[in-house]
Amino acid sequence: MKHTLGSFIFSTLFFFMLISCSQKQESIHPSIEKITQSVYASGTIKSVNQYEVYAKMSGVINKIIVKEGELVKKGQSIIELANTAQALNLENAKLLENYSSDNANKEKLTQANNEIELAKSKLDNEASLLERQKKLWANEIGTKNDLDLREISYKNAQTVLNAAHLKMSDLKKQIELQSKQTKNSAAISSNVLNDYRVISEMDGRVYSLSKLEGEMATPQLPIAIIGDANNFYIEMQVDEYDISKMAIGQKVFVNMDSYKGKVFEAVVSKIYPLMNARTKSFKVEANFISKPENLFPNISAQANIVIEVKEKAITIPRGYLIDNEYVYLKNKEKRKVKVGLMDYEKVEILAGIGVQDELVKSIQ
């Protein structure tokens, strides 16, 4: 009986000792270490100068010249639209251009020039006859009427010559005007025909083709995506709460699902000042300092943008900070502190406690 009572008392004391140990507060001292404050942003990998390709004209895709992943040169055709009617218009315009050229009107010009030469000859002859009639009249030979008739004939010949020159001038102007008009028409038809040919605006890679041969292409919907084949950047969405902390040149650490466990460095290169009203975020771009060998557009990424770094700061774990401005000392004092930088684990203490103070998470 005594043995049983003793065992009971021992078990009870051991139980309370366990409870007492489990309730014992874990305490820490602030430490001096490096702390980095950063802003998280979701991101997408983009190819430099990446753009969506649109057709200038609506039409059925007659031929897709390139394949996805293929390298292209600036000005290279990538897609051709059906353009039978425009090809005929261009052919007709070229026919009119040839018809309106100087060579095509050579006979008309020769005829007009012959009329000028004939009018000149007639004028020279009339001038000779008029001069002869004047001499006769000076010697009192002939009549005044004969002289008047000769002068009229001379003036008529002069009028005919002037008319021939005017006809030649008008003919040349007409030929020149028609030639310019038909050249312009041919150029317009050629440009319109070129609009049925979709070309690359840069040296790069075809990353996507969203249409098939025989499908309709319109200026409203993209038909391909082209971008730089080797150079990439990260496009990030930064919350409006954090945008005031952003600055060109800030370092960015990038993680990608495609390269799990690896971190790549970049630097902020551009901050767009207009907020996206739907997502309440700003677009920020960063250029890679170190990147993987193989990258592809539209890969998702997670980024941490470094705002500030302190090599030596008094820090405590964030779990020991109460209401963002208080800490509990081991002696059960609740003390107000001034905080500085924060990361996911630590918070900087600017004033209120030192490394000699002992902290607990709560007061029992």
Q: How confident is the model at residue 142 (pLDDT cuts 50, 70, 90)?
A: confident
* pLDDT, position 226: 94
Stretch 130-135: mean pLDDT, rounded?
86
- Residue pLDDT, tens place only, 203-213: 999 998 988 98
Between residues 339 and 186, the one the model is more confident about: 339
Instruction: Label residue 22 by pLDDT band (50, 70, 90).
Output: very low
pLDDT at 284 over 80: yes
**pTM of the model as a whole:** 0.54
pLDDT average, residue stretch 3-21: 47
Shared fold status for 26-48+231-364 and 50-82+196-228 = no
Mean pLDDT within 136-151: 85
- How confident is the model at residue 45, as a pLDDT? 93
Across residues 15-32, what is the average pLDDT?
A: 64
Domain boundaries defined on the chain: 26-48+231-364, 50-82+196-228, 83-194
pLDDT computed for residue 110 by the predictor: 84
Average pLDDT over residues 3-10: 47
pLDDT in tens, 59-106: 888 889 999 999 999 999 998 887 655 544 545 556 555 655 656 667
> One-letter amino acid identity for 92?
N
96 φ, ψ to 5°? Answer: -65, -35
Q: How far apart (Å, rounded) are the C-alpha atoms in residues 34 and 31?
A: 10
Q: Tokens standing for 263?
A: 């971190």
Q: Return the CATH class of domain 50-82+196-228.
A: mainly beta
The mean pLDDT value for 211-228 works out to 91
Q: Of all residues in the chain, what percent carry a pLDDT higher than 70?
A: 83
Predicted local confidence at residue 81, as pLDDT: 83
End-to-end CA distance of the chain: 40
Domain 26-48+231-364: state its class.
mainly beta
Instruction: Provide the strand spans (E) within the chain.
Output: 31-47, 51-53, 59-64, 71-72, 77-81, 197-199, 204-209, 216-217, 224-227, 232-239, 251-256, 264-271, 281-288, 300-317, 326-329, 334-336, 338-342, 346-351, 359-360
Longest dimension (CA), the chain: 187
Q: Which amino acid, 290?
A: S
Quick one: pLDDT at residue 9?
46
Q: Categorize the per-residue pLDDT at 248 as very low, low, confident or very high, splitting at 50, 70 and 90.
A: very high
Residue 92: predicted pLDDT? 57
Of 25-34, 242-251, 333-342, 344-353, the range with the highest mean pLDDT is 242-251
**Residue, of 188 and 301, whose pLDDT is higher:** 301
* 228 backbone dihedrals φ, ψ, rounded to 5°: -60, 140
Name the more confident of 221 and 22: 221
9 backbone dihedrals φ, ψ, rounded to 5°: -65, -40
Higher pLDDT, 12 or 327: 327
